[in-house]
Chain A
Amino acid sequence: MTEQISFGTTEFADNPEPRCPCLLLLDVSGSMQGQPIAELNAGLTTFKDELAADTLAMKRVEIGIVTFGPVQIALPFQGAAAFYPPVLTSQGDTPMGAAIKQGLDMVRQRKDEYRTNGIAYYRPWVFLITDGGPTDEWQSAAAAVREGEASKSFAFFAIGVQGANMDTLQQISVREPLRLDGLRFRDLFSWLSSSLRSVSRSTPGTEVPLQSPQGWASV
Chain B
Amino acid sequence: MTKTFVTSAGKTIEIGRELGKGGEGSVYEVPANHHWVAKLYNAHHQPDATKQAKLRFMATTADTELLSYAAWPQETLHKTANGPVVGFLMPKISGRVPIHMLYSPAHRRQDYPQAAWDFLLFAARNTAAAFAAIHHHGHVLGDVNQGNVLVGADSKVVLIDTDSFQINANGTAHLCKVGVAHFTSPELQGVASFDRVPRTINHDNFGLALLIFHLLFGGRHPYSGVPLRSDAGEALEKDIEAFRYAYASDGQRRGFNPPPKSIPISIVPDPIQAMFTLAFTENGARGSRPTAQQWVTALDGLRGQLKRCATTPMHVYPGHLDRCPWCALEDHGVIYFLDVQAGRASTGTVGFVLARVWAAIEAVPPPPTIPIPNIAAIAVTPTPLPPGITQEGTIMFWRIVTVGIALWLFAVIPGAWFFVLIGAWWAWAAVGDLGGDERKAERAKRQAARDAAQQAYDQIVGRIRQEVSPEVFAKKKQELVRLRDEYQQLPEREKSEIANLHATAEARQKHQFLERHFLDAAAISGVGPAKKAALRSFGIETAADVTWNKVISVKGFGEVLTRAVVDWRKACERRFVFNSNLAVTEADKNAVRAKIATRKRMLEITLNAGAAELQRLRQDMISKANALSPTLQADSQKLAQTQADLNDI
Residues of A bordering B, CB below 8 Å:
1, 3-7, 9-10, 12-18, 49, 52, 55-56, 59, 81-82, 84, 115-120, 201-206
Contact = CB atoms under 8 A, between A and B. Distances in A.
A213 B19 CA distance: 28
B354 to A, nearest CB: 7
B106 A117 contact: no
B333 to A, nearest CB: 4
Contacts of B223: 120
Given A4-B488, A118-B225, A119-B224, A16 B259 contact: yes
B45 interface: no
Contacts of B220: 16, 118
B362 A14 contact: yes
Interface size class, chain B: 35 or more
Given A84-B470, A203-B181, A6 B246 contact: no
Contacts of B235: 120, 203-206
A10 B494 CA distance: 25
B644 to A, nearest CB: 24
A6 B333 contact: yes
Closest 8 CB pairs between A and B? A205-B235, A118-B259, A203-B181, A120-B224, A120-B236, A204-B236, A14-B106, A5-B333
Contacts of B107: 55, 59
A17 B147 CA distance: 13
B484 A18 contact: no
Nearest to B246: A118
B234 to A, nearest CB: 7
A56 B147 CA distance: 9
A84 to B, nearest CB: 5
B60 interface: no
Nearest to B219: A16
B218 interface: yes
B586 to A, nearest CB: 16
Most chain-B CB neighbours within 10 Å: which of A7, A52, A56?
A: A7
Given A5-B354, A81-B366, 6 more contacts: A17-B104, A18-B236, A56-B100, A120-B182, A203-B182, A205-B236
A117 B259 contact: yes
B218 A13 contact: yes
Nearest to A5: B333
B372 to A, nearest CB: 10
Interface string B350-388: 000011001000100010010000000000000000000
Contacts of A59: 100, 104, 106-107
A204 B333 contact: no
A9 B262 CA distance: 11
Contacts, number: 132
B180 interface: yes
A202 B181 contact: yes
B491 interface: yes
B11 interface: no
B104 A5 contact: no
A50 to B, nearest CB: 12
Interface of B: 98, 100-101, 104-107, 146-147, 180-182, 218-221, 223-227, 233-239, 246, 256-262, 331-336, 354-355, 358, 362, 366, 369, 470-471, 474, 484, 488, 490-491, 494, 596-597, 600
Given A202-B181, A204-B236, A13 B261 contact: yes
Contacts of B491: 1, 3-4
Contacts of B218: 13, 16
Contact of A4 (B233, B239, B354): B354
25 contacts: A1-B494, A5-B331, A5-B332, A6-B333, A7-B488, A13-B218, A13-B334, A14-B104, A14-B106, A16-B224, A16-B259, A18-B236, A56-B146, A59-B107, A81-B366, A115-B227, A115-B233, A116-B226, A120-B239, A203-B236, A204-B182, A204-B235, A205-B236, A205-B237, A206-B181
A1 B355 CA distance: 17
A55 to B, nearest CB: 6
A116 B257 CA distance: 10
A63 to B, nearest CB: 14
Most chain-B CB neighbours within 10 Å: which of A118, A119, A203?
A: A118
B106 to A, nearest CB: 4
Contacts of A4: 354, 488, 490-491
Contacts of B234: 205
A38 to B, nearest CB: 15
B262 A118 contact: yes
A118 B257 contact: yes
B259 A10 contact: no
Contacts of A52: 369
A11 to B, nearest CB: 9
A120 B234 CA distance: 8
B333 A118 contact: no
B514 to A, nearest CB: 37
A15 B219 CA distance: 7
A17 B260 CA distance: 15
A17 B334 contact: no
A90 B227 CA distance: 42
B333 A115 contact: no
B358 A7 contact: yes
A187 to B, nearest CB: 15
A15 B104 contact: yes
Contacts of B261: 9-10, 12-13
A175 B4 CA distance: 49
Given A56-B146, A205-B234, A17 B333 contact: no
A49 B369 CA distance: 9
A77 B91 CA distance: 42
A204 B239 CA distance: 11
Contact of B237 (A13, A115, A116, A203): A203
A207 B335 CA distance: 35
Contact of A118 (B98, B224, B484, B597): B224
B471 A84 contact: yes
Contacts of A55: 98, 100-101, 107
B236 A118 contact: no
Contacts of A18: 182, 221, 224, 236
Contacts of B225: 118
Contacts of A206: 181, 235, 237
Nearest to A3: B491
Nearest to A14: B106
A89 to B, nearest CB: 17
B237 A117 contact: no
A186 to B, nearest CB: 12
Contacts of A115: 226-227, 233
Most chain-B CB neighbours within 10 Å: which of A16, A18, A81, A205?
A: A16
B578 to A, nearest CB: 30
Contacts of A10: 261, 333-335, 355
A5 B335 CA distance: 12
Contacts of B219: 15-17
B76 to A, nearest CB: 29
Contacts of A201: 147, 180
A17 B107 CA distance: 12
B105 A13 contact: yes
Contacts of A7: 333, 354-355, 358, 484, 488
Nearest to A59: B104
A116 B234 CA distance: 12
Given A7-B488, A205-B238, A14 B259 contact: no
Most chain-B CB neighbours within 10 Å: which of A5, A6, A14, A84?
A: A14
